[in-house]
């Protein structure tokens, strides 16, 4: 894993060596793509477009938040900002990296929450926009525009997370793939016709299962909060 981590650090060095205007862009992207924006920005916009799509975005965001935490507990994953010090690369003067206010995230890093949660929650919105765009003219080019924008956005989010040293490249890739797969799967299992009690019970179930799993891992001697 050390060789994979080292390669990721070198890639981050290349990104940080870019022009100043690009630095501002990466920091803006990583700030605006925070998972909480799924609930404060993406959900209201999707709900305005369609109640069903809005509910699906909210549901997908909820499940992806829970799954991301669980996956991180099992996959662990170092974070670049801390690993360069723990590995000794920083003390040896072998890296030229800069710290940013958003660099010092703690806890496991695999998969990237920004990529996974944002990617999953945007999926139903993207597929809906694809359908709407292709209806008037049935042009295959228009049909590809929402997905092209989705891919470019996820790439930008991924690069921004590497730039601020929050994640290694492979953690970003796993987050994007997991998010797209989860979004696709949940879209075919939409609970939009369920009563409100279903969502209340589901939220409580996810919360209690997380707390129980956390307690079991701690009891087993696994320090998931290292």
The catalytic residues are 114, 167
What's the alpha-carbon Rg for the chain, to the nearest Å? Answer: 19
Three-point CA angle 25, 29, 33, nearest 5°: 175
The helix/strand count (H/E) of the chain reads as 10, 0
Tell me the C-alpha distance between 55 and 161, whole Å.
28
Instruction: Provide the strand spans (E) within the chain.
Output: none
Whole-angstrom Cα distance, residue 51 to residue 224? 38
């Amino acid at each position: 894993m050390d060789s994979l981590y080292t390669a990721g650090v070198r890639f981050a060095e290349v990104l940080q060596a870019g022009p100043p205007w690009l630095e501002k862009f990466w920091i803006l992207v990583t700030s605006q793509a925070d998972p909480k924006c799924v609930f404060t920005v993406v959900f209201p916009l999707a709900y305005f477009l369609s109640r069903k799509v809005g509910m699906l975005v909210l549901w997908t965001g909820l499940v992806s938040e829970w799954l991301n935490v669980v996956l991180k507990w099992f996959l662990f994953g170092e974070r670049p900002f801390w690993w360069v010090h723990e590995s000794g690369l920083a003390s040896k003067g072998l890296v030229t990296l800069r710290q940013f206010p958003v660099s010092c995230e703690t806890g496991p890093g695999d998969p990237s929450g920004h990529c996974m949660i944002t990617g999953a929650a945007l999926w139903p919105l993207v597929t809906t926009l694809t359908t709407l765009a292709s209806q008037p003219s049935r042009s295959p080019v228009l049909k590809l525009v929402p997905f092209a924008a989705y891919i470019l956005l996820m790439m930008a989010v991924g690069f921004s997370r590497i730039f601020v040293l929050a994640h290694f490249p492979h953690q970003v890739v796993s987050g994007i793939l997991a998010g797209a797969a989860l979004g696709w799967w949940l879209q075919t299992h939409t609970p939009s016709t369920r009563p409100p009690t279903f969502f209340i019970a589901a939220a409580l179930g996810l919360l209690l299962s997380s707390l129980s799993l956390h307690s079991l891992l701690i009891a087993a001697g696994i320090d998931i909060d290292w």
